[in-house]
Amino acid sequence: MKSQPPEKADVLQGTLILLVLRTLEALGPLHGYGIARRIEQISGELLQLNQGTLYPALLRMEQEGWITAKWGASEKNRKAKFYSISASGRRQLARETDDWKRMSSTIERFLGPIPDALPEKLS
């Protein structure tokens, strides 16, 4: 019996900024399609990004000053907007990374055994 490939999942709310900023930090300037493809590749094709999610997020990040955009030519010589992380974006990436680590460690506590005794009563 063949194992079925895992279903693709949408990016968790609140993680898109982290994923985009980290991708731009690691790879340098990329156009929107390149960002989406790289995130999909790194996730082992488990995450999918659609234009209706990615481009509004890129616009917001540009307005916040976390990324800059410049028109250029794609690999296929088509006009494309290339995005780069800014100094402000690097600071935001550090905040987003800290927030994600804190949240994921909190969720991890719920995935393990939950202690019977709590430090203080909830009632």
- Is residue 107 in some structural domain? no
The CATH number that applies at residue 16 is 1.10.10.10
- Is residue 41 in some structural domain? yes
- Is residue 111 in some structural domain? no
Token readout for 19 is 């994923």
- Is residue 1 in some structural domain? no
At 113 the pLDDT is: 80
- Is residue 118 in some structural domain? no
At 122 the pLDDT is: 55
Residues for the chain: how many in total? 123
Number of domains making up the chain: 1
Crossing angle of helices 32-42 and 16-27, in 10° steps, is 100
**pLDDT tens per residue across span 11-47:** 666 799 999 999 999 999 999 999 999 999 999 988 8
At 8 the pLDDT is: 56
The model carries a pTM of 0.81
Is the model's pLDDT at 56 over the cut of 80?
Answer: yes
Signed CA dihedral, 61, 67, 70, 73: sign only = negative
At 100 the pLDDT is: 92
Q: How far apart are CA 22 and CA 9, in angstroms?
A: 19
- Is residue 119 in some structural domain? no
**pLDDT tens per residue across span 75-98:** 889 999 999 999 999 999 999 999
CB 52 within 8 A of CB 68: no
